[in-house]
Structure 1
């Protein structure tokens, strides 16, 4: 049987299993091991799965995964994120659209605490959304604000998705995280500019807080809220500054971040036994899920390497079809957008990474830069109808007055902003590559 046909059969079998409701790692791992056994016999087939497991266990940077997940859950469960929103509420309330702008700032800091978009969505929908609606903000605009802001969690470090990409693409996690900093901040800035301009043109979308309510908060109370709200930023600095300056390794910095978050919760009197147990359980569950996904992806990639499928597809695109490398890259990004209508970011990556990542390298593109492109494209796919991942998360968490139609309408301008950000990073790769080059050249 031709190798191309085997590759198509593997992908189609995997997609059928996913559509029948099988877990992502189960479908991918099953197809990988069964294909390996059929292709190379019992001994060779089982060795592929075993070697993938050994490779996973020996990957030292993987230790960062539970550390950062634990840090995020500590910050969330101990209600430190609530203090953060109160700070933005008080300091930005006097600006038209100020609370929506503050919500984007909240999401950036939540992303720097957790690395998962789900955490930002949960905090935004439970803390920010009720306040924004109560203050008379337009429900369609604020729904889009929370969805767009929460998507930053997979781009701003410590992004868990970039850890997964690093393992599959065999790239340094530290460089990928640093590569996501400037694009993430740029995207957040574009969101803020859009909100500010929109509310300036139509103040009814984001009304200013009443003067009597603003005057009720004294300067002393504002400074106290500022001090409490900036605590997450201090924890992030304590964690990242030693790493950026080369004083600690990435794994050591992740441990510093986890300990700093834990101590902050203890000092504020919020680290109860129930909170600690919840943080540990959530950390264990998410970490194990990602480890199984990485294991399945490594086994699947090993089969593709053995088949030589990547070289065959490169020959098809560049020699037989005569496509330009940039055209191929754009087609790959468009395929992510299509898959994002029914799959989450991890599923998208492990399904196509064995094919796309080596192909990107063969075409001469930088794999660190491509990791950022992939992540931004996932952010867009998260919010693309009809079945964008974030759309249904928002529907599950939003109050009854916000319907699915409102949610669909809310994301249109923010998707446009994200497409602009993607185009800018594609046109100017140094936006993503400058910071890693500066830090790692020391």
Structure 2
């Protein structure tokens, strides 16, 4: 049996383990260890298992993970999401569908200091959904806007998915963060336009709520969110201007969020403890996954599976654009059935060499991967964001939530098309950073 066949068998065994509930990191580690032993020797595999875990995590760059995670948990504990929603509501409440638009805008703001899609969706479910229900919004639009807006948490930096992609592919995390800014802003605008169009076609989805806020009210709305905006500008602007690295930006972001929480007197000892414990739990999960990914990467390298796939696609006669469209279509289908983290860890080690061989920029490919992961987070039948919302709002059937997210899925597909036609949307800021 040749090594490539062993690699394919190992890949499907790993999927089978995950199907039976084995954690992602453990499944990757088991398959990588046994597969490496089969291809090389058990002694080599034992040496690998002794060295790989340390080499996977003893990396200064990975210190950004707990720091950005802590930044998000501190923001969640101190009510930043509620402030962002209140400010957005003041500016948009007079429009038809304005509360749903405000939800998307608040999700974008919370994503800028969170990095987690699930945390963004959960926060906005508690903050925005009661308000939309109060004014008679259709449950499809209300839950759909929250589920879709929540996905911005992994596109607008800081993003945990960008961190993991950058670690696996050895791509600059700072450039990946900057690459997500303009697509994130554009997708936020597309979501708002989606709400405007759907409510124009069916006004019963979102009745008008309140009168237009005065200029003074709008000015006061900025009082509670200017500090958050400045913190995001400091972190991302500092990386763009070459003032500090991504790791230093993570430290500044976490420290700035802590100071902001203390200045507003909203951080109790209990809230701080919850934030720290949640950070430890999240970091531990990510660390186990990264160790498993590194072990699996060694196995894939010795089987030559990624290189064989790249060669096969290069000799297929298809154009690079056609191959990329096939990859995107495959990701959109996989996203409907798989967790986005599992999808990235399983496929990027195989498809990344294909992307490089086709001449695509690794930074651009990372943004495309994140956008298709966003679609997977709300696409039926899995859609983790939908499950989070459904678990918190039990009187809204999942069928209605899925119907509500369909227009937003169309907006994501439109963004993918724009990225294919205009790669500079993702590459301009990384290319011009100092």
Shorter chain as normaliser: what TM range?
Answer: over 0.9
Residue 204 and residue 285 in structure 1: after superposition, are their counterparts in 2 closer, same or farther (change >3 A)?
A: same
From 292, 305, 309, the equivalent of 2:305 is: 309
Matched, 1:59 2:54: no
After alignment, is 47-56 or 148-157 more displaced?
A: 47-56
Asked if the contact 1:174–1:250 (Cα under 8 Å) also holds between the matched residues in 2, the reply is yes
Asked if the contact 1:340–1:389 (Cα under 8 Å) also holds between the matched residues in 2, the reply is no
Matched, 1:345 2:343: no
Q: How many angstroms apart in 2 are the aligned matches of 1:290 and 1:77?
A: 21
How big is the shift at 1:201? 4.3
Q: How does 1:172-191 map to 2 (within 5 A)?
A: 172-191=172-191
3-state SS of the aligned residue for 1:314?
Answer: helix
From 331, 349, 353, the equivalent of 1:354 is: 349
Q: Quote the residue 2:230 is aligned against.
A: 234
After alignment, is 416-425 or 77-86 more displaced?
A: 77-86
Matched, 1:407 2:416: no
After alignment, is 387-396 or 76-85 more displaced?
A: 387-396
What is the TM-score of this pair, normalised by structure 1?
0.94
How big is the shift at 1:225? 3.5
How big is the shift at 1:195? 1.4
Q: How many angstroms apart in 1 are the aligned matches of 2:430 and 2:50?
A: 33
Structure 1: segments with no counterpart, 5+ residues:
none
3-state SS of the aligned residue for 2:128?
Answer: helix
Q: Quote the residue 1:430 is aligned against.
A: 424
Q: How many angstroms apart in 2 are the aligned matches of 1:352 and 1:331?
A: 14
Q: Quote the residue 2:289 is aligned against.
A: 293
Asked if the contact 1:104–1:191 (Cα under 8 Å) also holds between the matched residues in 2, the reply is yes
Deviations along 1:6-55, one digit per CA (max 9) or x if unpaired, are 01210111011011011110111111011112222233112333443233
Q: Quote the residue 2:326 is aligned against.
A: 331
What is the TM-score of this pair, normalised by structure 2?
0.95
3-state SS of the aligned residue for 2:40?
Answer: helix
From 384, 409, 419, the equivalent of 2:413 is: 419
Q: Quote the residue 2:393 is aligned against.
A: 398
Q: Quote the residue 1:5 is aligned against.
A: 5
Asked if the contact 1:96–1:206 (Cα under 8 Å) also holds between the matched residues in 2, the reply is yes
Q: How many angstroms apart in 1 are the aligned matches of 2:310 and 2:218?
A: 59
Q: How does 1:241-252 map to 2 (within 5 A)?
A: 241-252=237-248
Q: CA RMSD in A?
A: 1.8
Asked if the contact 2:8–2:305 (Cα under 8 Å) also holds between the matched residues in 1, the reply is no
Q: How many angstroms apart in 1 are the aligned matches of 2:273 and 2:198?
A: 44
Q: How many angstroms apart in 1 are the aligned matches of 2:363 and 2:283?
A: 23
Number of residue pairs matched?
434
Q: How many angstroms apart in 2 are the aligned matches of 1:45 and 1:325?
A: 36
After alignment, is 104-113 or 227-236 more displaced?
A: 227-236
How big is the shift at 1:269? 1.0
Q: How many angstroms apart in 1 are the aligned matches of 2:320 and 2:95?
A: 46
Q: How many angstroms apart in 2 are the aligned matches of 1:167 and 1:9?
A: 25
Q: Quote the residue 2:258 is aligned against.
A: 262
Residue 220 and residue 186 in structure 1: after superposition, are their counterparts in 2 closer, same or farther (change >3 A)?
A: closer
